[in-house]
Chain A
Amino acid sequence: MANAAVLPALSIIDQLPLLTIVVPMVAGPLCVLFGNRHIAWLLAFLASLASFLFSAHMLLQVIDGDVLSYHLGGWAPPLGIEYRVDAANAFVLLLISGISTVILPYARQSVAHEIKKVSHTLFYCCYLLCFTGLLGVVVTGDAFNVFVFLEISSLSTYVLIAMGAERDRRALTSAYDYLILGTIGATFFVIGIGFLYIATGTLNMTDLAVRLADMDGNRTVQAGFAFIVVGMGLKAAIYPLHLWLPGAYTYAPSVVTVFLAATATKAAIYVLLRFMFSVFQPEFVFELHTLTWIIMPLAILAMFAASLIAAFQTDLKRLLAYSSVAQVGYMILGIGLATKISLSATIIHLFNHGITKAVLFMVVGAFVMRKGSSFTKNLNGLGKQMPLTCAAFVVGGLSLIGVPGTAGFISKWLLIDAALEVDLWWLALLIVMSSLLAVVYVWKTVEVLYMNEPDEGTIAKEVPMSMLIPMWVMAIACIYFGLNTDITLTSASVAADSLLRGGVQ
């Protein structure tokens, strides 16, 4: 052990980037080994809480624009794998771990209701592995490592979705479809990384950024860019690549839908942001063309087409799934505009849409628990029978539309601001018009909940407190971040800054 002394002595604080990933990763198999569903839940909750506290601590460290660089195994980058935390990924880490920590108390009752007891330990194991994968995708600074973590999260996601088969067998085919599409997406991503490796001989993102800086006209780099964008676009459900999403969200167990809707697509969008603005220079001609002629039109198409489809759905869960596709459109639009304000808008919409969809899908989970399904026909007059749950839906719905005073307003305001900054007034108009479509489908549901009379002879109780409290924590967060924008706006603009600096310090 002659060279052991060379390693710098690290305190526990310096290990945080790694611990955030390792704690849930170790806790996952432990859930199965203990074999007790109560202990499994407790482990999952504690691991998630630990990751949340670690991420919060890291965000405080990097909020001034600093960067944490963790060398895995003591091997210095670019040869070794580096975990690199700046404001952008610390913010996304906080979102993912925070939402997971709020979901888990909710999960306990909902999982007990929807999944048979013997599978609970396996469920929490897969949940933690998925959580690990999503955090890993965000924290790592190594391009190939992104793929590995992406597959960890995807594989466990397929299992989680298939667990919905106890309620509806179509969960299996949805999981299968997602497996095929997800694997194609991930493989495309690997091909892209391979092309970048051929062109530069490195996998470290910071190093890639430096070496790619003067490779604008290089065909290999351009092909790599295309593969990476399409591969990640599949994962992020950019409009024509969203086919896996409605089925997966509709038939997965309610908790899984809450978790995926609030975090999974967000991690993929983060990777897109990281590659488009940090690894590749946003000034590259081919990238500018992609942003203007492919990304922006698709974003606008998603905003309208998916909202329109959502307005015609009769299953609330499927309706919200299509609405998610539409909301991804807004985030992609921010990427397409490629200014500092628009990137802030994308990052802040990641966060705001995460908490908004968490509330809405939690409410759907509560409906499924009390009424057996989430078809709007079953939900008549629930506003009187489950007042707290329905009120949470209204708050979430308002935030989804973007009514002033809710979180959704802030991100749309910023997005409109970004559109006006580059004199695209028609784009600002389109953003407002597509928000009106959200009014249609949210109002449609509110009408069923409050205006219709309850069905004869049906009694629906409020869901237990352990589900109501997480729901309202998220609902209050929707209002809080709509009124107090200091935290989110500062983080988002620092994050946009650190993305645009391109990792080149």
Chain B
Amino acid sequence: MSMQFILSHLNYWLFIILMMIGFYIVVARGNYIKKIVGLNVFQVSVFMFYISIGKVEGGTAPIFPVDMDIDPNVVYSNPLPHVLILTAIVVGIATTSLGLALIVRIREEFGTIEEDEILEIESKLQQEENSAEGPAMGGRA
């Protein structure tokens, strides 16, 4: 793997690093809000991936002149991935706000937003159910 290869694919490396950071936060952190933040980083890395693939070498902004007198020698960047990501950003915002709203409700009902404390409360509820209704095989098998 030459230096040339690494540099010419720089946007992909950055995308992968950012994506893995986000993914790691989602998996490793127990705080529900931090998980949402991780999810955001994860999603944003994909947005950046899309935006960077729209770039055409030497290309300018994809806007035709007003008089529509198009010079065939001018290279334009590809606007399509950008448009797609506009949609994905909206979806991302909706997901984040819904996630945060759920966290507010979880805090109201459980009094905490730490995953291990919630799991403890849930396993207590499970035990109460088990003693009342007979044992069940764990819900997370």
Complex: how many Å from CA A191 to CA B48? 11
B137 touches A172 (CB 8 A): no
**Residues on A with beta carbons closer than 8 Å to the beta carbon of B58:** none
Given contacts A172-B106, A194-B50, 11 further A-B contacts (CB under 8 A): A147-B91, A155-B91, A176-B32, A179-B102, A184-B39, A187-B42, A190-B88, A194-B46, A313-B136, A376-B134, A377-B132
Question: Hey, what's the 0/1 contact readout for B19-62 against A, CB within 8 Å counting as 1?
Answer: 00001001000001001000100110010011001000000000
Complex: how many Å from CA A155 to CA B32? 18
Question: Hey, what's the 0/1 contact readout for A305-340 against B, CB within 8 Å counting as 1?
Answer: 000010011110010000000000000000000000
Q: Which of B84, B125, B137 contacts A170 (CB 8 A)?
A: B125
**B118 close to chain A: CB less than 8 A:** yes
A176 touches B106 (CB 8 A): yes
Complex: how many Å from CA A312 to CA B134? 10
Residue of A nearest to B81 (CB): A197
**Residues on A with beta carbons closer than 8 Å to the beta carbon of B32:** 176
A180 touches B122 (CB 8 A): no
B102 touches A377 (CB 8 A): no
Residue of A162, A187, A246 with most partner-chain B CB within 10 A: A187
B125 to chain A: closest CB distance in Å? 7
Complex: how many Å from CA A190 to CA B84? 10
Q: Which of A148, A159, A190, A314 contacts B98 (CB 8 A)?
A: A159
A184 touches B26 (CB 8 A): yes
B76-133 residues with Cβ-Cβ distance < 8 A to A are 81, 84, 87-88, 91, 94-95, 98-99, 102-103, 105-106, 109-110, 118, 122, 125, 129-130, 132-133
A375 touches B39 (CB 8 A): no
Complex: how many Å from CA A162 to CA B105? 9
**Residues on B with beta carbons closer than 8 Å to the beta carbon of A186:** 91
**Residues on A with beta carbons closer than 8 Å to the beta carbon of B103:** 176
Which 8 pairs across A and B sit closest by C-beta, in order of nearness?
Answer: A312-B137, A169-B109, A375-B133, A314-B136, A151-B91, A377-B133, A172-B106, A176-B102
A48-81 residues with Cβ-Cβ distance < 8 A to B are none
**B70 close to chain A: CB less than 8 A:** no
Complex: how many Å from CA A315 to CA B98? 29
Residue of A147, A165, A176 with most partner-chain B CB within 10 A: A176
Complex: how many Å from CA A151 to CA B95? 9
Residue of B nearest to A375 (CB): B133
**Residues on B with beta carbons closer than 8 Å to the beta carbon of A187:** 42-43, 46
**Residues on B with beta carbons closer than 8 Å to the beta carbon of A468:** none
In this complex, how many residues of chain A approach chain B with their Cβ under 8 Å: the count is: 40
**B63 close to chain A: CB less than 8 A:** no
Residue of A162, A243, A314, A375 with most partner-chain B CB within 10 A: A314
**Residues on B with beta carbons closer than 8 Å to the beta carbon of A184:** 23, 26, 39, 42
B residues engaging A (CB < 8 A)? 23, 26, 32, 35, 39, 42-43, 46, 49-50, 53, 81, 84, 87-88, 91, 94-95, 98-99, 102-103, 105-106, 109-110, 118, 122, 125, 129-130, 132-137, 139-141
Q: Which of A151, A169, A176, A246 contacts B99 (CB 8 A)?
A: A176
**A144 close to chain B: CB less than 8 A:** yes
**Residues on B with beta carbons closer than 8 Å to the beta carbon of A151:** 91, 94-95
**Residues on B with beta carbons closer than 8 Å to the beta carbon of A165:** 105, 109
Complex: how many Å from CA A165 to CA B108? 11
**Residues on A with beta carbons closer than 8 Å to the beta carbon of B132:** 375, 377
**Residues on B with beta carbons closer than 8 Å to the beta carbon of A158:** 98, 102
**A183 close to chain B: CB less than 8 A:** yes
CB within 8 Å: A-B pair count: 101
B39 touches A180 (CB 8 A): yes
Q: Contacts A148-B87, A151-B95, A313-B137 known; A172 to B109 CB distance under 8 Å?
A: yes
A155 touches B94 (CB 8 A): yes
A173 touches B94 (CB 8 A): no
**Residues on B with beta carbons closer than 8 Å to the beta carbon of A243:** 140
B109 touches A198 (CB 8 A): no
Q: Which of A148, A172, A183, A309 contacts B39 (CB 8 A)?
A: A183
B136 touches A169 (CB 8 A): no
**A355 close to chain B: CB less than 8 A:** no
Q: Which of B39, B43, B99, B133 contacts A315 (CB 8 A)?
A: B133
Q: Contacts A151-B94, A309-B137, A375-B133 known; A144 to B42 CB distance under 8 Å?
A: no
B43 touches A183 (CB 8 A): yes
Q: Contacts A176-B32, A314-B134, A315-B136 known; A194 to B53 CB distance under 8 Å?
A: yes
**Residues on B with beta carbons closer than 8 Å to the beta carbon of A377:** 132-134
**Residues on A with beta carbons closer than 8 Å to the beta carbon of B106:** 172-173, 176
**Residues on A with beta carbons closer than 8 Å to the beta carbon of B95:** 151, 155, 179, 183
**A247 close to chain B: CB less than 8 A:** yes
**A107 close to chain B: CB less than 8 A:** no
B139 touches A318 (CB 8 A): yes
A191 touches B46 (CB 8 A): yes
Q: Contacts A313-B137, A377-B133 known; A190 to B46 CB distance under 8 Å?
A: yes
Complex: how many Å from CA A197 to CA B87? 16
Complex: how many Å from CA A144 to CA B81? 10
**A88 close to chain B: CB less than 8 A:** no
Complex: how many Å from CA A375 to CA B23? 37
Complex: how many Å from CA A194 to CA B43? 13
B100 to chain A: closest CB distance in Å? 10
Q: Which of A180, A250, A314 contacts B133 (CB 8 A)?
A: A314
Residue of A nearest to B134 (CB): A314
B98 touches A179 (CB 8 A): yes
Complex: how many Å from CA A366 to CA B3? 66
Residue of A nearest to B36 (CB): A180
Complex: how many Å from CA A148 to CA B88? 8
**A175 close to chain B: CB less than 8 A:** yes
**Residues on A with beta carbons closer than 8 Å to the beta carbon of B43:** 183, 187
Q: Which of B46, B53, B94 contacts A197 (CB 8 A)?
A: B53
